[in-house]
Structure 1
């Protein structure tokens, strides 16, 4: 096969194409660079004397001449057009940072931008020289803030318009928009900004601001119609939006409706449009405009750990099974490649899940699933079949509660030998999620409380876990170049029987990519006299990370994980395990790609000396 390919290549020379991965061209010529008509290359010198570090970074980020310096432009005039556009962007950036007296100087081949002829001609022997100098000048502060018309009784300080503070243009625009939203929130949908004047006094380096808002009449929501839908039921869309005729008008309700419809995954675009006038009943009509996305989807993924081996996952799903955003998903996975030999030592999982949003109540969701799995860990082997039926309800935009029923058959081989279990459970969950981004948060927190009262039929054992976790995120700097992240989790298990009477997969273990990195998955556990892991009745784990952005796409993450599992219902911290390491992140539209290298600081005598983990998404 190799010889045949080689012979073909010799007889028919292959065209050299670029090879690009993660946005980096490793070899060949990037085709995008050859699609420009009459390409002209340029070199740019970018100077920002007397600019602070934050301002310098903002100016450099806004300059497309600088960001696209490796890309040619189209024709000599293209250089001039790009330079003119850059000047407008740089000026706007100065205004945003409260510099209204800045000077932007751009020359092309030594000629000032405004002195060039309408159709300039540059030498092509060398790249065109573009010099950009931005002198920010003095910082301007607010001197007078005047609110008139229906905004006259509002307090400027509430909107961060404080005399003596920097007078950034973006802050002024946001303040006026927030005032408008607050007035509209009084059920006045036709409110509008009548005036927003910003006057800079260059003699005193100050700014005077005048904002006038006309509120319009008080009006409730009128009829809510739906357009653009084809396969998704219009009545369901209106019901799930939770926008109903007669309720008070609030801009925040419109935004929330758009967000919750978007999370269904069945729409590629959603716009909640309000009429520009009231109807005959004095109400404001709304129209929800949607564009449906493809309902069927499939995908695959992979994970890798030097300790737990490699894994493959695949799935197929349908987002709109019966016309009301019902979701059906089929998942399958196999993992443990490279960890041990033999197909019997691999981990397998397959399952089907169904979800029906808006069930009984607009804020309720019905979930049902059945899953079969074979799990081989260093502590136990478990073959399980689990059926679950649950119902979740959104208390608020950030609070969710759920209750369910679960029946699981488990065949377990562990420190206590081979045992079979049949367990009925009632899972109870509460979650509060204020994160700004589920895949890559920079602020907010995520807290959970769970319990699962259970009855094991074969041994007549009653038991229940009680667990809680909280993870928090705090971004540093204007662009969140460093995000501090931390997670704390703890749990305890109550039972009227012995440890052997509780299925191993319901006892507590720790270790692996989701808890204490550097140790085998579920490898941290109390041990019996034969040095076999038994699982515990309580645990505590904690993790801290500093997620440092090196570039827009690449980040480094130093981390420390700590955990302990005890054979008592209250952790005794007699055997604490810790792992530390460094991670690499590469940002993609579907979440960061994660590579972590961890060292166990106090490994087990025959345990691994390091662990490498590859996956998608942050570790927590």
Structure 2
């Protein structure tokens, strides 16, 4: 759905940074309150209260050992693989449970290293292990070792690199060609290459509606004289089958029939694994389940259809939290919210929220920023891909460009056309009283915002591939002032990894918009375009780019354009740096004036977490004007775009 307040800025997600000073935003800490005081409390992987160490069971009859892993002439790459696969090396500082534990670990070690050799196409490689000078195969099951640490030696002979020889795929394969899946004479013979090709062949058959497709036979022959690996496999496609009934288990307070309905798997439709994956994602997006599993049955029903089994685990439906922010230029802020994820039993969401900010930045209660909101969402109103949304918001705010009191109500619908395409539309009525550089005015605006989004990014918070396109149009009429106008915006961002490990990612973004139908003074200040600040042109103050009045305060404009480019570099598994450059312009006319383009550049750091990167960016204005800050600091969760 269109986010409330999105019409007030070219960069609706940016944080405010007042002119002339840098600002650091404190992260909001949302507390999910549960009756479990003995548990440790963590944030971003750091234990703040209690201990995160599990009470490990003591090792019975502990025995220490030392290990010498000799990979011979394996080469650097294979040596690294072997050492990464070795559990004897990884656990060398942990005692095993007696001599039996050491024997068991050594046997597992050999299996793991042989598997690593096979993955590298080394099918005549060998792994010899000795414990206390005795070969592993010569040791009795009840052998005893003394003299800690017990010396363990692992000697690996890598052998030759095999290539694929004859490839024969038989059975009911249709038009499945092995070469399409990486199996061809002279190709890589690594075991994972063969297994992955098998899995892809089976998936290709399943994609054609064969849910019972499987590999029924496999023969692998390594010719040590020629260094070739011959592969023979037999595939069984099985029948093309339609979906049957959707069976749901695990629901408690969420309606079971509604859960099956929201899975969106239509009985009689041809089986597709993509439909199962889409059903799981759709059910998770309801936010009422902790876990969701969607699987086809193991066998067809008597009528030839394939039942679908959905297993869910519900999460707590009521929640509330508090948060706080702090800025050395904007003062402190507090916020709180209460919500229910399953109001009437069909994943209806109700959320009440409020916030107060600029505490300490001003001593006048009337100059604090206040926000309050009420949100209601109901999924599945015209099919599983749809969601009805209604909002009521009240705002009293004082950015640099204007002072505004507003009450806005909106209702609308969001619909997923495909996995990557979403459209949304709403009807909104917004009363506001605004004081800005053009005077004091009241507005009552009726509008119908419509938005289309194409998004095939691999990750919303830290994308490494794909792109996102947004198109937005909002016809509006000011009832009190008899003014009509149309606001349009467009945005595109693209992401591409430059290396196989995806540690170097190039990202770019361009956005533009215009307002037609009325002069600048007739457009309410919160509907005009602004630029500058985090998520826009970093290094400049929030809303500070663009036209200004005689007092030097921003007035906003009728058009804007923004451009950003970043090189996201992952230095370690948990740390990255991001050099960036941003540019933007705001014009009082309906066409952006590139002569007034402001450019900022800087460097960001990223702390990578499982739920997304934590971001801190430092930007400086490259063509700084009088009154602009010398630098800006911005913090947030997720990448800047």
TM-score tier by shorter-chain length is 0.7 to 0.9
Query: Are residues 1:538 and 2:559 paired?
Result: yes
In the superposition, relative to structure 1, how do residues 446 and 134 fare at CA in structure 2: closer, same or farther (>3 Å)? farther
Deviations 1:561-608 (Å, cap 9, x if unpaired)?
222212222222112222222222223333222222222223332222
Is 1:478 the counterpart of 2:493 in the alignment? Answer: no
Equivalent runs, 1:363-402 vs 2, <5 Å = 363-402=385-424
- Cα distance in structure 1, aligned partners of 2:521 and 2:77: 60
1:453 alignment partner, SS class = strand
Deviates more, 1:220-229 or 1:365-374: 220-229
**Match in the other structure for 1:556:** 577
- Aligned-pair CA distance for 1:135: 6.7
- Identify which of 186, 196, 212 aligns with 2:208: 186
Report the counterpart of residue 5 of structure 1 in structure 2. Answer: none
What displacement does 1:509 show?
0.5
Residue 595 of structure 2 aligns to a residue whose secondary structure is coil
Higher deviation after alignment, 448-457 or 59-68 = 59-68
Match of 1:15 in 2: none
Instruction: Identify which range, 78-87 or 588-597, moves more after superposition.
Output: 78-87
Rounded to whole Å, the distance in 2 between the matches of 1:46 and 1:443 is 39
Q: Which runs of 5+ in 1 are unaligned?
A: 1-17
How many Å separate the matches in 1 of 2:227 and 2:372?
Answer: 67
d(CA) in 2 for partners of 1:468 and 1:48?
Answer: 57
Q: 1:135 to 1:314 in 2, by over 3 A?
A: farther
Maintained 8 Å contact 1:305/1:612 = no
User: Does residue 190 of structure 2 align to residue 165 of structure 1?
Assistant: no
SS of 1:243's partner is coil
Identify the match of residue 491 of structure 1 among 484, 501, 513. 513
| 2:449 counterpart of 1:427 | yes
Q: How far does residue 443 in structure 1 lie from its aligned partner after superposition?
A: 1.7
TM-score, structure 2 normalization: 0.83
> Are 2:236 and 1:218 aligned?
no
Q: Helix, strand or coil: the match of 2:609?
A: coil
Q: 1:433 to 1:30 in 2, by over 3 A?
A: closer
State yes or no: 1:244 paired with 2:266.
yes
Greater CA drift, 151-160 or 501-510: 151-160
Question: In 2 relative to 1, CA 324–556 (structure 1 residues): closer, same or farther, beyond 3 Å?
Answer: same
Please report how far the alpha carbon of residue 450 of structure 1 lies from its aligned counterpart in structure 2 after TM superposition: 0.7
Residues 432, 44 of structure 1: alpha-carbon distance in 2 compared, 3 angstrom cutoff: farther
Q: What whole-Å deviation, never above 9, does each CA across 1:499-535 have from its counterpart, x for those lacking one?
A: 1211111111011222122222222222234322111
Determine whether 1:520 maps to 2:535.
no
Distance in 2, matches of 1:406 and 1:383, equals 16
1:583 equivalent in structure 2: 604
The question of 1:452 aligning with 2:474 is answered yes
Q: Please identify, of 65-74 and 235-244, the stretch whose mean Cα deviation from structure 2 is larger.
A: 65-74
Change in Cα spacing, 1:294 to 1:245, as seen in structure 2 (3 Å) is same
2:336 is equivalent to residue 322 of structure 1:
no
Distance (whole Å) between structure 1 residues aligned to residue 48 and residue 387 of structure 2:
47
Instruction: Assess if the C-alpha contact under 8 Å between 1:302 and 1:615 holds in 2.
Output: no
TM-score by length of 1: 0.86
- Matches of 1:48 and 1:375, distance apart in 2: 67
Offset of residue 280 of structure 1: 2.4
Aligned partners of 1:304 and 1:613 also within 8 Å = no
The answer to whether the aligner puts 1:604 opposite 2:622 as a matched pair is no
Q: Work out whether 1:333 is the aligned partner of 2:359.
A: no
**Structure-1 separation of matches of 2:83 and 2:322:** 38
CA contact (8 A) 2:341 2:348 kept: yes
Q: Deviations over 1:396-454 (max 9, x none)?
A: 11111111111112222322233222211101000111122222222222211111111
Shift, 1:62, TM fit: 4.8
Aligned residues: 600
Tell me the C-alpha RMSD between the 2 structures.
3.5
User: Mind listing any 5+ residue stretches in structure 2 that lack a counterpart?
Assistant: 1-39
CA contact (8 A) 1:307 1:519 kept: no
Tell me, what secondary structure is at the counterpart of 1:574?
Answer: helix
Partner SS, residue 174 of structure 1: helix
Asked if the contact 2:529–2:556 (Cα under 8 Å) also holds between the matched residues in 1, the reply is yes
> Structure 1, residues 310-356: CA drift from partner, whole Å, max 9, x if none?
55443332221111111112233344456556554443322111111
Closer, same or farther in 2 for the Cα pair 1:410/1:180, shift >3 Å?
Answer: same
Pairing partner for 1:37 from 48, 59, 70? 59
Q: Hey, what's the Cα distance between the residues in 1 that align with 2:412 and 2:549?
A: 37
Which residue number corresponds to residue 265 of structure 1?
287
- CA separation of 1:20 and 1:428: change in aligned 2, threshold 3 A: closer
Instruction: Kindly provide the CA deviation profile for residues 262-320 of structure 1, in whole angstroms up to 9, marking residues without a partner as x.
Output: 22122222223333332222222222222222222234455566665655443332221
Please give the secondary structure, in 1, of the residue aligned with 2:279.
Answer: helix
Q: Distance in 2 between matches of 1:339 and 1:70?
A: 55
Q: Which has the higher contact order (CA 8 A, sep 6+)?
A: 2
Asked if the contact 2:543–2:554 (Cα under 8 Å) also holds between the matched residues in 1, the reply is no
- CA distance, structure 2, for counterparts of residue 51 and residue 416 of structure 1: 76
